[in-house]
Amino acid sequence: VGPFLVAMGMSWHPEEFNCAHCHSSLVERGFVEEKDHVYCEICYEQFFAPTCARCSQKILGEVMNALKNTWHISCFVCVACQQPIRGNMFHLEDGQPYCEMDYYRLFGTNCHGCDFPIEAGDKFLEALGYTWHDTCFVCVVCSTNLEGQAFFSKKDKPLCKKHAHAVNV
């Protein structure tokens, strides 16, 4: 009977909606739910909020979990461009995070056949002093795949046995 408020899917008398630690009223201020209890933001920060691995400040908002640490979203950045990585894919080089674009720009290898990056998990091979996707190492005349096959080369271009003596390459 009387005034009430709804929080965490339950109804509360205003005088009973208090911080579980300091018992201050949460009726007129923000609160955080932690382990089925409610806390004022000050108590939450003091006892539960994780610490950012970069700036060492407590994280009260959205948290980024990466590299066995917690980070403010704005603190988890690419070491090359210093832009936040957020929820995007990142790569590690010497234990440091790089956004996908900087990683491939700095450390990537492009396939000599198609000129697209050879990405993690791609099958590749090295031949004629270049790196190739396994599906791109083909005869320049007939496109026969040469992976694991005997091949010839002319002007750094792979050729199958049939086209080893092709004139126009």
In angstroms, how far is the first alpha carbon of the chain from the final one?
A: 91
**What does the pLDDT read at residue 24?**
95
Which of 28-32, 73-77, 131-135 has the least mean pLDDT?
28-32
**What does the pLDDT read at residue 25?**
94
**What does the pLDDT read at residue 86?**
84
Q: Quote the pTM value.
A: 0.60
How far CA 102 is from CA of 84, 93, 139, in Å, comes to: 13, 11, 33
Residues 98 and 127 placed together within one structural domain of the fold:
no
Residues 138 and 95 placed together within one structural domain of the fold:
no
What does the longest C-alpha to C-alpha distance in the chain come to? 97
Tens digit of pLDDT for each residue in 39-95?
999 999 999 999 999 999 999 888 999 999 999 999 999 999 999 998 778 999 999
Residues 138 and 88 placed together within one structural domain of the fold:
no
Q: Is the pLDDT of residue 168 over 80?
A: no
**What does the pLDDT read at residue 76?**
96
Residues 117 and 168 placed together within one structural domain of the fold:
yes
Share the mean pLDDT of the chain. Answer: 91
Provide DSSP, 7-25: ETTEEE-GGG-B-TTT--B
Nearest 5°: phi and psi at 78?
-70, 135
In a domain, 149, yes or no: yes
Question: Domain of 163?
Answer: 109-169
Q: Could you tell me the two tokens for 133?
A: 């996707």
Residues 95 and 133 placed together within one structural domain of the fold:
no
Looking up residue 146, the CATH number of its domain turns out to be 2.10.110.10
**What does the pLDDT read at residue 119?**
84
